[in-house]
Amino acid sequence: MRAKCSHCVRIATARELGVDGLAELIDQFKVTPDNLAIRYGMRFEEALEQELIDSLGDQVQQPKEKTTEATIELMSEGVPVIYQGVLRGGSGAMGFSGRPDFLVRSDFRLEFVSGLLTARQVDGWSGGYTAWDAKLSSTPKPEYQVQVGLYADVLRELGLMAPSHHGLILGSRELVDFSGEVLIAQMVEERNAYLKQVYAFIDEDPQRVEDIGGLICDASSYCDICEYPDLCQHMRVETNHLQLVAGITRPQIESLNRAGIKTVAALGSFDSSTDKLSNEQVAKVSRQARLQQHTYDSGEHIFELLDAKPILTMPKEDEGDIFFDLEGFSFFNEPGGIEYLFGYTSISKGEEFHWTWADSREEEKVAFEKFMHDLLNRITANPGAHIYHYAPYEQTALKKLAERHDSYRIAVDELLATNRFVDLYRVVKQSLAISQESYSIKKLENYYDFGRVSEVKEAMGSMEYYDQYLNALEQDAAEAEKLKRQVIAYNQDDCASTLALARWLRSLVDGNV
């Protein structure tokens, strides 16, 4: 998957070549990739393994040793399903080594029965195996298909590939199968592009770290599975790299580089068009760079009011207003995740925080319906009331919940159609430029009087806490309750910050308080 990142390819190749000084640099950033997606992916694989073992018994086996030889031995014995085997070799100029989740004898077919994975024999065995990988995703992404293609390629070189029914076991508990030859053909095209990069870099004969290049990813798509996730940010800061500029795109950076602009400081004083960017486009990114460089140099947080109209068109504060934040968990054990915490701050009786918690799909429905019931009653009592939030997640989630539970569909659609929701992120982006590397609400808190009290600091952190809470539920009720309260406190901070942001924005414009 990381072969799509030229930065990762160059570093990995340089590491194998023993480029002088590289190990000393990257080892200080080296970590074992670990995040919720990886952990839940592993749990999914383990659950599927156990389901197969439960249904097929000793027809499912794991090699005694983590070697290709031990895996081939099981295939020679005709074991119907082999899990966590090892395949090494393939048709490429460089050897491939990997561990397919399942190797299935060609006369067996994987299937889900009552939601559990099993396999059944469908015809006589004529030799060969198919390769299957488990992915928590609900879609068979191209890079996943390439991975299975690599396994199929090794099997073909070993003379052990069955022609069809290789594929993916998705988190939605669906099977997607492909012809082995088709997967290999797709894989070879990707592999050739990768090998071309590797050999071109080897031909450069890099001797020092400086010969490798910028040591910065072109994109952050693969940072969650990278061995050196903090290396790029370290180098961005060290080099004052253009990627630090909030909202800048890769094509913009490339165009600016061709114009000789390679740092935030240089961009902050640049005022000419480039081969791909108009004067107006350059002015926008240049302003953002100038503001950020000011903060880098002085530590002072500054902003510019670009357009007062988005703030002036905000509804006036109404005592029925609420300031809303939803917490969701993508890795819930049912498709679509769960919205587990509905929190909002009201102002009709001073600042009051309200919340409802859900640990199951049934409780999610109860929480959603309670929120909608209370919201509609509030609007009935206060026709000028609005729902304030930051970024579009809340609107999208409420529409999804109305459809999922077949409840309050018309009410949610009407709230959306009549502009009851006020997305303060849109207001900020349309009206302000701030001297921060992102426009998250946490970054905006540098500009208005608000201090967080919760231990949880980021949205992904709240998901980590919720995961720990789920793990503690069955073993330590007191610890589970402590974690729950920490997530609720984080949500309360977000709601209170949304209220503070709305009031600060209005304070910037005369006549709209």
Q: Dump pLDDT digits (tens) for 404-415.
A: 999 999 999 999
Q: Which residue has the higher pLDDT, 1 or 353?
A: 353
- State residue 456 phi and psi, 5-degree precision: -75, 135
Asked if residue 166 lies in contact with residue 130, where contact means CB atoms within 8 angstroms, the answer is yes
Residue that is last in its domain, among 200, 229, 257? 200
Model confidence pLDDT, tens digit, residues 198-244: 999 999 999 999 999 878 887 666 777 788 888 988 999 999 999 99
The answer to whether residue 74 is domain-embedded is yes
Distance CA 219, CA 249 (A): 9
- The pLDDT value recorded for residue 127 is 83
Asked if 23 and 170 sit in the same domain, the reply is yes
**Across 114-142, average pLDDT:** 92
Whether residues 263 and 324 fall in one domain:
no
Tens-place pLDDT, residues 28-69: 999 888 889 889 999 999 999 999 999 999 999 999 999 999
**For the residues 181-207, what does the mean pLDDT come to?**
95
What average pLDDT does the segment 491-511 reach? 93
Inside any domain, residue 226: no
Within-domain flag for 217? no
Length of the chain: 513
Full residue range of the structural domain in which residue 329 is found:
311-507
Check residue 415 and give its pLDDT: 98
For residue 77, the Cα-to-chain-centroid distance in whole angstroms is 42
Segments in 57-179 forming alpha helices (H)? 68-76, 142-157
State the average pLDDT over residues 173-200: 96
Q: Measure CA 336 to chain center.
A: 15
Q: Is the pLDDT of residue 179 over 90?
A: yes
Nearest partner of 244 among 265, 272, 213, 275, judged by Cα: 265
Look at residue 512 in the predicted model and tell me its pLDDT: 46
**Is the same domain home to 389 and 276?**
no
Q: Is the pLDDT of residue 458 over 80?
A: no
- Output the domain CATH number for residue 415: 3.30.420.10
Query: Are 143 and 195 in the same domain?
Result: yes
| Same domain membership, residue 328 and residue 248 | no
Average pLDDT over the chain reads: 94
Collect contacts of 282-286 with beta carbons under 8 A, ≥24 apart.
285/245, 285/247, 285/248, 285/252, 285/256
Domain count across the chain: 3
Residue 501's nearest CA partner among 436, 424, 433, 443 is: 424
Same domain, 296 and 391: no
Angle at 369 between CA 367 and CA 371, to 5 degrees: 70
Place of tokens 């498709």: 335
Is residue 426, in this structure, part of any structural domain at all? yes
| pTM of full prediction above 0.75 | yes
Residue 386 lies in a domain: yes
* Mean pLDDT of all residues in 250-270: 97
Q: Mean pLDDT, to the nearest integer, of 297-317?
A: 97
Q: Do residues 186 and 173 touch, judged by C-beta distance below 8 A?
A: no
